[in-house]
Amino acid sequence: MLRSALTLSLISLAAFSPAAETASARLVREVGDGYLQLLTRENPMRRLKLGLPIEKLPGVTLADEERVAKEASGLLARLTPVKRKELTHEESLSLDVLTRQLTLQIDAPKSFYYRFQVTPYLSPLGAVSQIFSALPLATAADRDLYLARLAEVPGLASAIGANLQTQADKGIRVPKPELDQVDGLLKAFAGTGEASPFRPKANRLASLATSDRDAFLGAVDKLVKKEAAPAVSRLAAAVSGDYRAKAPETVGMKQYPGGLDMYREFVKLHTTMDATPEQVHQIGLKNVARISAEMAAIREELGFKGTQAEFKESLRGNPRVYPKTPDEIGERLMSYITRIEPEVDHYFGRRPNAPYGVKRLDPQLEAGQTFGYYQIPTATEPRGYYNYNGSNLAERSLLNAGALIYHELIPGHHFQINLAFENPGIPEFRRESFDTAFTEGWGEYAAGLAGEMGMYKDAYDRYGRLSMEMFVSIRLVVDTGMNALGWSRERAIDYMKENAMESDTQILSETLRYSCDMPGQALAYKMGAMKILELREKAKAVLGPRFDIRRFHDWILASGSLPMTTLESHVQAFIDASKM
């Protein structure tokens, strides 16, 4: 075991030894540096993480994407002379990641008009809200920069409206069922005074002198009332008028010109595999059948004789399952974290240095999101947070709270993202890579791993974990069904109600997410998790007693997000090194 550990360490060190750098390695490094400069200039969240000023809001036009694509194309061309045989293992991973990320930037304009900029999960307004919530406000210069970015919001809203109209001219409109969610999102961003998401919360201004605070808030309120809110209101009005009248009643990408071909590309993009919608659909059906049988066995263990849907209804009002207050959600989530913390070192050799926690989403934005999201640490907020949804308590089941927080924090996203961020042994651009199949696949794998760690202590916890696995497996069926196989949204809703433990409200929101907001993205969770588990079991079978799960997890996470095809070669390198 000691020899294997030494071998793995030597591989990592050799990969970044300046003395051993070949011409090919130098090219990879230089292009990686160029790509990192591109990211640093264009990605506001990266700038926040580094404590750099936000000099502009994100670009939202096709011209913006084409400009970035042109720069990425030039960088990719520089990699042509690279000879893989001259690269170490880690340098080879860098080449793969760099090639993929640059290719994604180059190809992005092709899908521009298949992405709706007014839907809750994909709208730039959501990203802009996160930017404003993280901007520093301590100095006069900080506050001036805040106001300067706020003054750009009207232009952003106008550009989104122009994009929406061009999409419509191409026969691509947000479906009517989604427009109510769009309306809610835009109304939230059109609020004024304390109802505006652009107005900083009081706790962010607590250190300021009263006169400075009042002057700043007065300036914010004036900009919001006279410029930002009216601009978003105009966008909302445009969506509510002729646009809504001509919007399709049906959902799914197949209905748009070229939509089915683009959806096939989205499936490959998000799974990072050469998978077809039809193949993914069949994988989903098989998983749903398996999990359904396991859930039925637990219901029998609990003495319940009815169906899945009947069991779900029987839990209504159960204080174990439904919270009384938003704070109770946070407390329940953290109780599972407290449970897992003592066991982590048996499964991981490293922990991230970044602290973690949970907090509630901004209530003004909760209606448009089914659950919540993980927020990475930044220069102004060094703690990684899971932002949970505290609305609709009567429908906010906590049956799968353990599985959810293990996916989001420990040993899920917080581990996966920050162990890469904190690893100086990989190029910085690799720490900024986020392949959905790897990141969300790891989150789902982590929720399953928690079961192996003994975290689901009773039948309800196990049922909650299975309900989450069922949920991500159902996505394989209904996402592909609605976007490629001709399923109506009603059919998808009925299928989810029959098999999922989610509330009707969540099911309605999720089916819109799959068919209108982020087609194909939800496939990555289960597909990525299955691949990670498959590769772990392969390593275990080959290595036998030499297999060390702690070192396997460290190996997987230390190198950052990787496409699944690259992850296969990465795990093979782990197997080869562990044999020495």
Whether residue 461 sits in one domain with residue 405: yes
* Spatial distance between the Cα atoms of 317 and 505, rounded to a whole number of angstroms: 16
Q: What per-residue string of b and e applies to 346-365 under the rule 16 or more CB within 10 Å gives b?
A: ebbbbbbebebebebbeebb
Residues 6+ apart with CB under 8 A from 421: 352, 354, 376, 377, 431
Q: How far apart are CA 510 and CA 570, in angstroms?
A: 34
Sign of the four-CA dihedral 517, 520, 523, 528: negative
Look at residues 552, 551, 559, 529 and name the one whose alpha carbon lies nearest to residue 421.
Answer: 559
Asked whether residue 437 is domain-assigned, the answer is: yes
pLDDT at 368: 63
User: In the prediction, which pLDDT does 504 show?
Assistant: 87
**442 and 294 part of one domain:** yes
**CA-based nearest residue to 429, from 572, 559, 571, 555:** 559
Measuring CA to CA, how many Å separate 196 from each of 114, 119, 229?
A: 29, 19, 8
Position 37 in a domain: no
Q: Are residues 333 and 409 in the same domain?
A: yes
Residue type for position 238: A
Say yes or no: 466 and 325 in one domain. yes
* One domain for residues 412 and 365: yes
Same-domain check for residues 312 and 386: yes
Q: Give me the number of domains the chain comprises.
A: 2
Task: Tell me the C-alpha distance between 383 and 397, whole Å.
Answer: 26
Range of the domain at 138: 115-249
Please tell me the predicted confidence (pLDDT) of residue 345. Answer: 97
- Asked if 297 and 163 sit in the same domain, the reply is no
Are 391 and 366 spatial neighbours (Cβ–Cβ below 8 Å)?
Answer: yes
Residues 340 and 485 in one domain: yes
Nearest to 553 by CA among 362, 376, 349, 304: 349
Evaluate whether residue 203 is within a structural domain.
yes
Q: Is residue 219 assigned to a domain?
A: yes
Among candidate residues 528, 554, 571, the one where a domain is terminated: 528
Q: Is there a single domain that holds both residue 333 and residue 472? A: yes
Cα angle 166, 171, 172; round to 5: 75
Quote the tokens at residue 566: 């690259």
356 occurs within a structural domain: yes
Please check whether residue 187 lies inside any domain of the structure: yes
**Helical (H) or strand (E) element with 204:** none
Q: What was the pLDDT predicted at 511?
A: 96
- Residue 550: C-alpha distances to residues 11, 34, 44, 343, 409 (Å): 17, 34, 35, 12, 18
pLDDT tens track, the chain, 580 positions: 333 333 344 344 344 444 568 999 999 999 999 999 999 999 988 888 888 999 999 999 999 999 999 999 999 999 999 999 999 999 999 999 999 999 999 999 999 999 999 999 899 998 899 899 989 999 999 999 999 999 999 999 999 999 999 999 999 999 999 999 999 999 999 999 999 999 999 999 999 999 999 999 999 999 999 999 999 999 999 999 899 999 999 999 999 999 999 999 999 999 999 999 999 999 999 999 999 999 999 999 999 998 888 898 898 878 889 999 999 999 999 999 999 999 999 999 999 999 999 999 888 777 766 678 898 888 778 999 999 998 888 888 899 999 999 999 999 999 999 999 999 989 999 988 889 999 999 999 999 999 999 999 899 999 999 999 999 999 999 999 999 999 999 999 999 999 998 888 889 999 999 999 999 999 999 999 999 999 999 999 999 999 999 999 999 999 999 999 999 999 999 999 998 7
The pLDDT of residue 460 is 93
Residue 379 phi/psi, 5-degree rounding, is -65, -35
Contacts of 535 (CB under 8 A, 6+ apart): 567, 568, 571
State whether residue 479 is helix, strand or coil: helix
Q: Kindly state whether residue 391 falls inside one of the protein's structural domains.
A: yes
Same domain assignment for residues 209 and 297: no
Inter-CA distances, 403 with 340, 448, 468, 474, Å: 11, 8, 7, 16
In terms of DSSP bridges, do strands 384-388 and 373-375 run parallel, antiparallel, or are they unpaired?
A: antiparallel
Q: In this predicted structure, what is the pLDDT of residue 394?
A: 82
Task: Say how far apart CA 78 and CA 74 lie, in whole Å.
Answer: 7
Note whether residue 548 is domain-resident. no
Contact 489, 482 (CB under 8 A): yes
How many angstroms separate the Cα of 331 from the Cα of each of 337, 354, 357, 377, 388? 10, 20, 10, 21, 11
**One domain, residues 124 and 230:** yes
User: Do 367 and 226 have their domain in common?
Assistant: no
Strand partners, 360: 388
Q: Note the maximum CA span of the chain.
A: 70
> 400-423 burial, b if ≥16 CB within 10 A, otherwise e?
bbbbbbbbbbbbbbbbbbbbbbeb
Indicate the burial class of 241 (C-beta count within 10 angstroms; 0-12, 13-18, 19 or more): exposed
Residue type, 162: A
Q: Which residues contact 533 (CB under 8 A, 6 or more apart)?
A: 445, 448
Strand order of the β-sheet with 373-375 is 356-360, 384-388, 373-375
